[in-house]
Amino acid sequence: VGAGTVLDGETAREVILHDAQFVIAPNLSKSCARVCSRYQVPYMPGCTSVTEAVKALELGAAFVKAFPISDFYGPKLVSVFKTPIPDLPVLASGGITLDNLADYIRRNCDVCGFGGLLTKGTEEEIARNARKIRRIIDQSRTL
């Protein structure tokens, strides 16, 4: 279990002391990166530019959260990062659907975060969505 929308070092320390195993943020924060590094907890800051992404790596980020991903940039933001830096570890979250997941996978997104598809509905609906996600990932990787 991790913590999201962690904006600063004070909050990072608080969630880590309450057993967060990772920290995700919509922004890049030097103080948050420092605290996560000190406690050896993976930090995934939100970045919109290659400059921000490189700075995040310099600060010790485990992944770069392509953010905002949903309506603003979509899967293209993954390519913005991966074209000049193919090995950059990219996490995309927010707005990923069954209809656009294949595009994220084809653009070599390393981690795709899902919310409602895996948390809302009956157990069977959630299980069906999980199977669909797995199938889309498998099919997209073989193309």
Give the distance, in angstroms, between the CA of residue 31 and the centroid of all CA atoms in the same chain: 19
- For the chain, what is the total number of helices (H) and then of strands (E)? 7, 6
Query: Consecutive 10-residue runs of the chain (143 residues): their mean pLDDT?
Result: 96 98 97 98 95 97 87 85 96 90 95 90 96 96 77
Class of domain 45-142: alpha beta
pLDDT at 73: 82
pLDDT at 71: 64
pLDDT at 107: 94
Domain ranges of the chain: 45-142
| Those residues with Cβ within 8 angstroms of residue 100's Cβ, 6 or more apart along the chain or in another chain | 74, 75
pLDDT at 109: 95
